[in-house]
Amino acid sequence: MEEAASRRARRASGWSTSARGSFLSRKVGALPRLLTPFKLGLGGRVGSGRQWWSWVSLDELVEAYRFALERDDLSGRFNLTSPNPVTNVQFTKALGKALRRPTVFPLPAFVAKAMFGEMAKELLLAGQRARALPARLLDAGFSFRYPELDAALEHSLAE
């Protein structure tokens, strides 16, 4: 038992993440902060809405780590993101659809910064310069249960 744990620890030290998408969870991260305004029908794009938002369901984030720890042949950097990043406008529409609420009120950048602090600058307003994709993870054989945002939101909101 100890030997297996030691092997896993050695493997884990050779595996790291380059990019991790915003994880979808009803309890932690950005999603809980977005739920109240969206449920009140006050949700909308943040800033321009054109910024890319790489995301991953929390369950799949955990599964990807487990996948890596169980494989002797994986090392280096991996992107832990869904294979289908979206723009903020697309995310906004999907969250509104999942909650059955309108998404007509844009959130100006200065309000987002006041509400979310540094997280607004890093995740919501600046977005990723390029869409982070999990190519190496997929090439290694990992399969996503929720590769599409609509299904991932439905699952995350049902938690």
Query: Quick one: pLDDT band at residue 10, thresholds 50, 70, 90?
Result: very low
pLDDT at 3: 47
User: What residue spans define the domains of the chain?
Assistant: 2-158
| In the predicted structure, residue 81 carries a pLDDT above the cut 60 | yes
DSSP the chain: -HHHHHHHHHHHHTEEEEEEPEEE-SSSSSHHHHHHHHHTT----BTTS-SEE-EEEHHHHHHHHHHHHT-TT--EEEEES-SS-EEHHHHHHHHHHHHT------B-HHHHHHHHTHHIIIIIIS-BSS----HHHHHTT---S--SHHHHHHHHHH-
Query: What does the pLDDT look like over 19-62, one tens digit per residue?
Result: 677 878 888 887 888 899 899 999 999 888 888 888 999 999 99
pLDDT at 113: 80
Is CATH 3.30.365.10 what the domain over 2-158 is classified as, yes or no? no
